[in-house]
Amino acid sequence: MSESTLPPEPTVANREAIQSRTAHIDHPSLGVVLVCMDPTGLLAAAMGWNFVSRLRPAVASALREKFGEHPIVWEGPCDHLVLVFFDVDKADPETVERDLAERLSRQVDVDGRSFFIPTYLGIAIASEVSTACDAIDLVRASGAAVHQAILSSATSVRATADSIELLQQEVAATTELAKAIGSDFSLHYQPIVDLSTRQRVGFESLLRWQVGDELRLPADFLDAAETTSLIVPIGRWGLTAALGQLAQWQRKSGDTTLFMSVNFSARQLVDRGLVQHVADAIATSGVPAATVWVEVTERNLIETGSPAAQTLLELDALGCTICVDDLGTGFAALRYMVEQPVQVVKIDRSLVSKVGIVEPLRSVVGAVCALSASLGILTVAEGVESEDQVDKLRDLGFTHAQGFLFGKPAPATEFEF
């Protein structure tokens, strides 16, 4: 959500307007709905910014026609927002939410022309937001709920007592992340072995964030980085550091086939400067391009022709090895693998752990390995933790493996060549 989407701190005039519109409703019975229009700026870009100034009154007018005098529809303090106030003792919140969604799913007349207006709803009800002391607080809570609705692609979200606090924590986390780039991040590495020889043939680089005495794992911060532009500089730093380390290990071992797998998110794949940055990092480090595994998750496999798919094609043309991580049992993903330049797939640990227990699952994973082999695609079993798994994985046709059995993620200093 852009900064302009959230309600600003109310001015004196806005505070007075909100208070006057809600004065007749006892605070414990007050409900607020914030309607966020055109959150991506689609209409503004297509129709011009002057159109946006006419959009808000048009939507407000359509809602007034729908509701009459109750609930109260106010155009609000921002170009992209309309506020709806109602008394929960007189209007059921679920009904208000449903009626709003129904009306906003239909076209709205703007200057004599009909348009569909993309909208998200943030709903704050005093009885559910115990931290809200007045109507102003409820408006802020409804803004926090809209933010969550946009992030989750939900039509509407109800605010809770901690909605504003969670939003403040998100702001603090992204600020902390921005400060940490280039100073507090480090990489750990997990070995990947050739199953036929059990020899270490490569590594996956894994991001870590040092905060005081605490070492944070990607699950603690990557979502925040992914929802902002911070994943781009973090990812660029990680790639440069990983290839620098790979170059050292290749020189020490004399093995120029030793590879490094680096994770890339969907947001990184649409970064127009990514391919050039990868090319520059390869040139600076001196490692062969084929030893750079570009690792993307199954859910980030993109339809042919999209910007992200084009990036994968360009990285393949650069000579990098394209690797799909966390592959599940979805054969839709295999279709994308045929259409895109995939050379390696990693089978998710949740499947690997069950191949010796659940016979139907073993058959499915075996079929994935067989199909991959027929396409010349290498297969990596993730999360291998015991010796009794190794023979089963070989029998299924896996070519490579990684997991605690072969080594836990660790700093570069813990590996010898």
Q: Which of 105, 127, 161 is the last residue of a domain?
A: 161
Task: Output the pLDDT for position 205.
Answer: 98
331 has a pLDDT exceeding 60: no
CATH number of the domain residue 42 falls in: 3.30.70.270
pLDDT(267) > 70? yes
Q: What is the pLDDT of residues 43-89, one digit of tens each?
A: 889 998 888 888 889 999 999 999 888 899 988 777 678 889 999 99
DSSP string, 159-201: --TTHHHHHHHHHHHHHHHHHHTTTTEEEEEEEEEETTTTEEE
Token pair 């043309």 is at which residue? Answer: 317
In this structure, the answer to whether residues 206 and 79 fall within a common structural domain is no
pLDDT band at 218 (very low <50, low <70, confident <90, very high): confident
| Tally of domains within the chain | 2
Cα separations (Å) of 379 from 44, 199, 277, 279? Answer: 46, 16, 27, 26
Residues present in the chain in total: 417
Same domain membership, residue 346 and residue 243: yes
DSSP of 244-286? HHHHHHHHHH--TT-EEEEE--HHHHT-TTHHHHHHHHHHHHT
DSSP letter assigned to residue 241: H
Which amino acid type is present at position 209?
W
Most confident of 160-169, 272-281, 364-373: 272-281
Same domain, 157 and 14: yes
Pairing of strands 81-87, 72-74: antiparallel
Residue 276 in any domain: the answer is yes
Q: What is the pLDDT of residue 6?
A: 46
Residue 296 shares a structural domain with residue 182? yes
Domain-ending residue, one of 161, 189, 205? 161
In a domain, 260, yes or no: yes
Asked if 198 and 330 sit in the same domain, the reply is: yes
Same domain, 152 and 128: yes
Q: Please give the average per-residue pLDDT across 25-30, as a whole number.
A: 92
Q: Are 87 and 37 in contact (CB under 8 A)?
A: no
Q: Cis before residue 7, ω within 30 degrees of 0?
A: no
Q: Whole-angstrom Cα distance, residue 324 to residue 348?
A: 10
264: in domain? yes
The arithmetic mean of pLDDT across residues 191-219, rounded, is 92
Residue 196, in any domain of the structure: yes
pLDDT digits (tens, 9 = 90+) for 82-139: 889 999 999 999 999 999 999 999 999 998 899 999 999 999 999 999 999 999 999 9
Co-location of 125 and 242 in the same domain = no
For 39-79, give the DSSP string.
TT-HHHHHH-HHHHHHHHHHHHHHHHHHHTTSSEEE--SST
Indicate which CATH number applies to the domain containing 230: 3.20.20.450
The verdict on 107 and 82 lying in the same domain is yes
Q: What are phi and psi of 132, to 5 degrees?
A: -85, 120
Residue at which a domain ends, from 128, 161, 194:
161
Q: Are residues 135 and 182 in the same domain?
A: no
Does residue 213 form part of some domain? yes
Statement to judge: residues 26 and 130 lie in one domain? yes
Which single residue is written with the structure tokens 């695609």?
A: 377
Q: Is residue 167 part of a domain?
A: no
- Regarding predicted confidence, which is higher, 212 or 194? 194
- Domain assignment of residue 77, given as a range: 3-161
Helix (H) or strand (E) holding 137: helix 135-152
257 assigned to some structural domain: yes
Same domain, 196 and 230: yes
Residue 26 included in any domain: yes
Residues 144 and 256 in one domain: no
